[in-house]
Homo-oligomer: A and B are copies of this chain.
Amino acid sequence: MNGDVTTGVHAAWLPPEAFRALGSRRVLVQGAEAGAPAGTVHEEVARACAAYGGRVGRGPGGETGPYDLVLALTGAGSALPEPARAQARSARGTLGDEGFLLARRGGVTVVLADAPAGLLYGLFHVVRLGESAFGGEDGGDGKDGGDGKDDLPAAVHRPALRTRMLDHWDNLDVHPVMGQVERGYAGGSIFWRDGGPRGDLPRVRAYARLLAAVGINAVSVNNVNVHAAETRLLTERLGDVADLADAFRPYGIRLHLSVNFASPVVLGGLPTADPLDGDVRAWWGKAAARVYEAIPDFGGFVVKADSEGQPGPFTYGRSHADGANMLAEALAPFGGEVHWRAFVYDHTQDWRDRSTDRARAAYDHFAPLDGEFAANVVLQVKHGPMDFQTREPVSPVIAAMPATRLAVEFQVTQEYTGQQRHVCYLGPMWSEILGFQPWGGADDGRRTVAALVADPAAGGGLVAVSNVGDDPYWTGHPLAQANLYAFGRLAWAPHADPVALLDEWIDLTFVPLLSRDPAPLRRALHAMMDGSWRTYERYTAPLGVGFMVRPGHHYGPDVDGYEYTPWGTYHYADRDGVGVDRTRATGTGYTGQYPQPWSEVYESQERCPDELLLFFHHVPYGHVLHSGATVVQHIYDTHFAGADEAARTRSHWRELAGAGLVDAALHARVLERLDEQVRCAREWRDQVNAYFLRKSGVPDAHGRHIP
């Protein structure tokens, strides 16, 4: 394994070799004394230069030029060498908390930031650029500069979204059903073990570094289902939390905690947790003050309330705005925020009742509260109305709350997308969602999901559930690192091309380690990953209907697994047809939660996109799709195709064996998972096809064997 020296685990997208271009230069870091993230920049550069023969100065005193690279705060002003000095003068105050400017003139690459975090992001940008940060692939070494031929015009980089957050669903204790990490597929928690801290702070710091390199600036370190031991992180265990915050701080990442809404009762001994009760509010105020004493840059609270058994304001007849605002009041004096999750639905619903619709729940609960939330409340909305399925429409809540700060929540951990045993690169899915236009072409289509969450006033940013554990490859499946990478980069730049992000990731993770032509590796990884989400979609639940997974663990097929359960996740297949009627005309009325044009598009069997047809409509098996295939033939075709594609994915990887293009241990790990993917994809194919053949009686038009 290509291990990180500090931690003995895989270096992911920050192998020492990725710093070669930087590390062989003469670098000035100016502003390291300004605080944690800037000091980190100096450390990073110093380490790289020590490894690759470069030289680092801290300026302004003593060091002599010339420099190939200047990393500086704009405030340094006259202490900087030219051309940095002039650029700093003009850029100063325009770059913001996290932005940076990159330019190259006269053989000197200049990175400027108004604030330390920006400098850190600028550094990692230079790492991503590699040699091209210095004038080209074949190494502008700066010495022959000055002729302008390798100049780069000054470009300002700012994160599109203010909050770029990862939520960990990590438990302190091993939960008897969910384990140490709920929906975790990469081993135990990197934070917790056996009821207490895991005690490996270098690993936490290495994680923080990886996150900073992709632009993440916030983490939550415990499960949104806050069990007994985890509840006490807010009080007795605060020291453990502060230790983690200390590990994240050097990388510009603010720590958040998931809290138990019932804490005033459970921890405080109060008779109630009613958000309008004075004692309760006072208790939270004091709790927040104690937290900020220990962690001055604490980010805030994450709350899952009144959901799947968690306590919440409904217990006291209060609204979710009441609940969130109470916590917001406690955090406001310290600049903290509340991330209040909109994942509220009835998980004890009666499958016999076709009028109740889980998809409606978040909108029904929250849209009426628009405008009632405090300024430091962020309503955290899952990207779809259900639960991180492979294919869902975009949640109508996102367009329904203009007067509320909204964050959209993704799931990097692959709960429903192969659990890091299947290759499933989610960048294209997230990209589609971020580019979705809730009002269609109205307003020239400028109001995308990305624009909404990025809005300086109303945007709450992007949040995702982490896929990281104490696995030596961080993510179980080594290729699942790409999902974490892409999430961070899309949170910074939502319109980035996900395939290009894959290239970035490949160029950092694999290419620096190679002494040979990386083209075959790059081709193989693109062949395996670019379309892997759609491949996964093909061999699992068809046409947007979702679920069909084994209840509980959610891995592998079980077409009727949730069909007669209280969880609200149905497909209603009978001998004539399949799908959920969510129309206004004859169904649950869910389509009415969308603005135009989607409300009409989804309402119409003719206009509804094929890939969401069964999410919105119950249709006969003979219904003809836009593709020209009938629904049942589409099911057969896609399932045969998807399973075949999984097998081809494995073939691509097998061809890399022994070619020296990837580490042997990593190759073996991926191959073992591909074997499971191929097996499981066939299982999906056969179960789904057999189910629909038995039910519809329609034979495959191509006469293939269906068991």
A interface vs B, CB < 8 Å?
A: 176, 351-352, 552, 557-561, 564, 573-576, 683, 686-687, 690-691, 693-697, 707
Which B residues are in CB contact (< 8 Å) with A683?
Answer: 564
Copy count, this protein chain:
2
Q: B176 and A697: CB pair below 8 A?
A: no
Residue of chain B at shortest CB distance from A550 = B551
Q: A707 and B352: CB pair below 8 A?
A: yes
Which B residues are in CB contact (< 8 Å) with A564?
Answer: 557-559, 683, 686-687, 690-691
A575 to B552, CA, bound (A): 28
Which B residues are in CB contact (< 8 Å) with A351?
Answer: 707
Minimum C-beta distance from A609 to chain B (A): 27
Minimum C-beta distance from A518 to chain B (A): 41
Minimum C-beta distance from A566 to chain B (A): 10
Minimum C-beta distance from A618 to chain B (A): 12
- Whether A575 contacts B176 in the complex (CB less than 8 A), given A557-B564, A564-B557, A564-B687, comes out as no
Q: B559 and A694: CB pair below 8 A?
A: no
A693 to B576, CA, bound (A): 11
Minimum C-beta distance from A560 to chain B (A): 4
Q: B694 and A574: CB pair below 8 A?
A: yes
Minimum C-beta distance from A61 to chain B (A): 62
Q: B575 and A696: CB pair below 8 A?
A: yes
Q: A573 and B694: CB pair below 8 A?
A: yes
Which B residues are in CB contact (< 8 Å) with A559?
Answer: 560, 564
Q: A695 and B575: CB pair below 8 A?
A: yes
Sample 19 A-B pairs with CB under 8 A, ordered by A number.
A352-B690, A552-B552, A558-B564, A559-B564, A560-B561, A560-B691, A561-B561, A564-B686, A564-B691, A573-B694, A574-B693, A574-B695, A575-B575, A575-B694, A575-B695, A575-B696, A575-B697, A576-B697, A695-B695
A697 to B561, CA, bound (A): 21
Which B residues are in CB contact (< 8 Å) with A696?
Answer: 575
Which B residues are in CB contact (< 8 Å) with A697?
Answer: 574-576
Minimum C-beta distance from A461 to chain B (A): 38
Minimum C-beta distance from A116 to chain B (A): 47
Minimum C-beta distance from A643 to chain B (A): 13
Residue of chain B at shortest CB distance from A351 = B707
Pairs A-B, 8 closest by C-beta atoms: A352-B707, A574-B694, A560-B560, A575-B575, A564-B687, A575-B697, A575-B695, A352-B686
Of A559, A690, A693, A694, most B-chain CB atoms within 10 Å: A694
A564 to B687, CA, bound (A): 7
Of A560, A573, A683, most B-chain CB atoms within 10 Å: A560
Minimum C-beta distance from A457 to chain B (A): 47
Residue of chain B at shortest CB distance from A563 = B560
Which B residues are in CB contact (< 8 Å) with A558?
Answer: 560-561, 564
Which B residues are in CB contact (< 8 Å) with A560?
Answer: 558-561, 691
Given contacts A560-B560, A560-B561, A575-B697, 5 further A-B contacts (CB under 8 A): A352-B690, A552-B552, A559-B560, A575-B695, A694-B695
Which B residues are in CB contact (< 8 Å) with A352?
Answer: 686, 690, 707
Which B residues are in CB contact (< 8 Å) with A575?
Answer: 575, 694-697
Residue of chain B at shortest CB distance from A552 = B552
Minimum C-beta distance from A605 to chain B (A): 21
Minimum C-beta distance from A559 to chain B (A): 7
A552 to B550, CA, bound (A): 11
A697 to B576, CA, bound (A): 8
Residue of chain B at shortest CB distance from A353 = B707
